[in-house]
Amino acid sequence: MLLFCSGKSSMPNAIPQSVNDYQIELALADASTPPSAWYQDDSIYQLERKTVFYYQWLLVARVDELRDDGDFLTLNIAEQPVILTKSAGKIRAFYNVCRHHGAILKGSGKDSAQGNCQRLVCPYHGWTYALDGQLIGYREFAGVNQFNPEQLGLKEIQCQQYWHWLFICFDPNAKPLFKSSETLWQRLDSLKMRDCDYYQSRCYRLQCNWKVYVDNYLDGGFHVPVLHRGLSSALDNKAYKIETLDKVCWQSCPTKPSDSDISQVRQGTANYVWLYPNLMFNCYQGVCGVMRVLPVSAQQTEVVFDYFFAPQIEDAFKSMSIKVADVVQQEDAEICESVQTGLNSFGFETGRLSVSKEAGEHLFHRLLHADLVRPR
């Protein structure tokens, strides 16, 4: 599974001028969007993957992808190779890198991104690791001074489970997941996502910077009546609410009856919840969509959409719900790619933010800036 592209480069020392110049102290009424360079330049993307995606907790997989002991799943996250394993009932995350010369490991030596195995094998010199990360096999190291296999296990990454999902954080000093945004986890309980079952996933590849997609999500429904007319017909847009918390933007809106098929599968209160930097929960009555916005490059993004439904929901309802969501995603993809074209134009540098609608974007930009200028 591709979650960003693979590779490795050194930590940049210089902060780009466009980041240093951004006026983070301005209130929403005075603020502007980040300069277009933030959405174009590879230097910003490289800085983001070594700060934003290093310091923050990231949803990377579902728990049901590692059901049994021996299951493994390989990922590339922010250009870091990662492997998730399950042994003795525990799921762990490691850098998927052999401690000998850095080759990428394979489950029991097989070339598969996901499966079940008894051990992890390096295809280069045959070093072998148990699923708990311990080095258990190596050869030709007699006479090597201070060689201690107990100190050469795989390097572990923080990994925590929340309901259906697995999160990791590369920063070994990061606060536990549930302390990183306590208010969010408490409020999410009210949406009953715990009771929903996974159904299927869809992936969308967009020709735009990942932040364009996040900005679009966080505009407080500003674009919905214009861009998503079908969805808009099922929402009471005048009652749309926007709350910004610690690292969270929580948008909510009552649904309303309409003549469209959408109102049949979009009932109750719509809750659109964003957790910095790239995670979104779209929840309606009996329906939950979980979106991960994954940078592929400075101007390419992959959006992974997992669909969950309450147990009593019938298959016909599920199919219609996914069809409705797919239309919205296609509409969002088209406008986000249009925005990226505009951001690349000489005619655009920065824009303004609506006080009544775009508080979520303002929060996102400030959190992003705080990560980009962190001492490293």
Checking 99-105 for CB contacts under 8 A at 24+ apart, the result is 99/127, 99/135, 99/152, 99/153, 99/154, 99/155, 100/124, 100/125, 100/127, 100/138, 101/125, 104/74, 105/129, 105/154
Q: What is the pLDDT of residue 186?
A: 83
Q: Please determine, for residue 351, whether its predicted confidence score (pLDDT) is greater than 70.
A: yes
Domains in the chain: ranges and CATH: 22-51+182-372 (3.90.380.10), 58-173 (2.102.10.10)
pLDDT tens-digit profile of 243-285? 999 899 999 999 999 878 899 999 999 999 999 999 999 999 9
Tell me: pLDDT of 158 over 70: yes
* 359: pLDDT strictly greater than 90: yes
pLDDT higher than threshold 60 for residue 3: no
Query: What was the pLDDT predicted at 263?
Result: 92
Per-residue H/E/C for 67-136: CCCCEEEEEEECCEEEEEEEECCEEEEEECCCCCCCCCCEECCECCCEEECCCEECCCCCCEECCCCCEE
- Nearest by Cα to 364 from 79, 13, 39, 16: 39
Query: Higher-confidence residue: 15 or 8?
Result: 15
* pLDDT on residue 13: 53
pLDDT at residue 79 is higher than 60: yes
Give the pLDDT band of residue 12 (cuts 50, 70, 90): very low
Share of the chain above pLDDT 70, in %: 96
| Amino acid present at 355 | V
Chain segment 203-214, per-residue pLDDT in tens: 999 999 999 999
The predicted structure's pLDDT at residue 139: 95
Q: Tell me what pLDDT residue 5 has.
A: 42
- Max Cα–Cα distance, the chain, nearest Å: 79
The pTM assigned to this predicted structure is 0.93
| pLDDT tens by residue, 167-183 | 999 999 999 998 877 77
Mean pLDDT of 218-222: 98
Question: For position 6, what pLDDT does the model report?
Answer: 39
What pLDDT is attached to residue 9? 42
Q: Are 291 and 206 in contact (CB under 8 A)?
A: no
Q: Is the peptide bond before 12 cis (omega within 30 degrees of 0)?
A: no
Over residues 47-68, mean pLDDT = 98
Question: pLDDT class for 65, splitting at 50, 70, 90?
Answer: very high
Q: What is the mean pLDDT of residues 32-36?
A: 98
Q: Which residues contact 212 (CB under 8 A, 6 or more apart)?
A: 39, 301, 336, 339, 340, 343
Looking at residue 314, its pLDDT comes to: 97
